[in-house]
């Protein structure tokens, strides 16, 4: 049985680790982090257990199912995945899916109904609710819809601020705000750099 998740453990903390195992053989993938695998040098360890950890296999299966799901299938599939006993892994798979889908459709009219359906499907999962809220704020910023500056500076995560700060196409008001009030030195630096690189008027954010 997996130990209980620590209070400050976030699903996206595990995405890189799970992604390394989702589709790739350890011996062939140059970016795989082998630090957690003391027997990663398979040539020197003939008795190494080659079985993939069960949660990694389920993560790969879930992300593949989500990627190929239709809009009609998507909400029920998300609900089913979130019943997995490994809550962190399940939320990581759904987070990855939300990020992929939102990046693809956030600037389109389809986003509003999709976000509403995902909010219902992920009810009871605070991290996923926050992620959807931040995608909606990002959409409002990028499309020059009305948005609350305090929501960006006081209640948004490093993830959202970094995503906006590193994109020169982010509208100037948001970049200016982040250059001055970003949560970290890195965010403030990226926002200032994006402001210097920016040319012309507002354009759609490219994510």
pLDDT mean over 58-72: 97
Report how far residue 174's alpha carbon sits from residue 166's, in angstroms, rounded to the nearest whole number. Answer: 11
Q: Of 71, 95, 74, 91, which is closest to residue 83 (Cα–Cα)?
A: 91
How large is the angle between the packed helices 110-121 and 126-142, nearest 10 degrees?
A: 170
Report how far residue 64's alpha carbon sits from residue 88's, in angstroms, rounded to the nearest whole number. Answer: 18
Q: Is the pLDDT of residue 149 over 70?
A: yes
Report how far residue 107's alpha carbon sits from residue 98's, in angstroms, rounded to the nearest whole number. Answer: 14
pLDDT of residue 36: 39
pLDDT mean over 148-167: 95
Assess contact for 169 and 205: CB atoms under 8 A.
Answer: yes
Q: Which of 26-35, 40-49, 132-141, 145-154 has the lowest mean pLDDT?
A: 26-35
Give percent of the chain above pLDDT 70.
71
Report how far residue 171's alpha carbon sits from residue 203's, in angstroms, rounded to the nearest whole number. Answer: 7
pLDDT of residue 14: 57
pLDDT mean over 100-104: 97
pLDDT of residue 15: 61
pLDDT of residue 167: 87
pLDDT of residue 53: 84
Selected residue with higher pLDDT from 203 and 185: 185
pLDDT band, residue 79 (cuts 50/70/90) = very high
Length of the chain: 207
pLDDT mean over 67-71: 96
Quote the radius of gyration of the chain (alpha carbons, Å): 19
pLDDT digits (tens, 9 = 90+) for 24-59: 433 333 333 333 333 334 344 444 445 678 999 999
Residue 10 DSSP SS3: coil
């Amino acid at each position: 049985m997996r130990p209980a998740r620590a209070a400050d453990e976030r699903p996206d903390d595990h995405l890189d680790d799970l992604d390394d195992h989702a589709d790739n053989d350890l011996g062939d993938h140059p970016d795989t982090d082998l630090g957690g695998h003391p027997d990663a040098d398979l040539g020197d360890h003939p008795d190494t257990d080659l079985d993939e950890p069960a949660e990694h296999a389920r993560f790969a299966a879930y992300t593949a199912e989500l990627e190929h799901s239709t809009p009609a299938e998507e909400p029920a599939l998300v609900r089913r995945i979130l019943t997995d006993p490994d809550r962190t892994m399940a939320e990581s798979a759904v987070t990855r899916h939300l990020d992929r889908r939102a990046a693809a459709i956030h600037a389109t009219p389809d986003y509003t109904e999709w976000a509403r359906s995902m909010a219902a499907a992920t009810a009871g999962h605070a991290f996923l609710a926050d992620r959807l809220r931040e995608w909606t704020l990002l959409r409002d910023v990028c499309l020059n819809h009305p948005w609350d500056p305090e929501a960006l500076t006081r209640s948004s995560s490093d993830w959202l601020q970094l995503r906006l700060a590193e994109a020169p196409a982010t509208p100037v008001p948001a970049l200016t705000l982040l250059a001055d009030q970003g949560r970290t030195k890195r965010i403030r630096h990226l926002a200032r750099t994006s402001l210097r690189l920016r040319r012309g008027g507002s354009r759609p954010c490219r994510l």
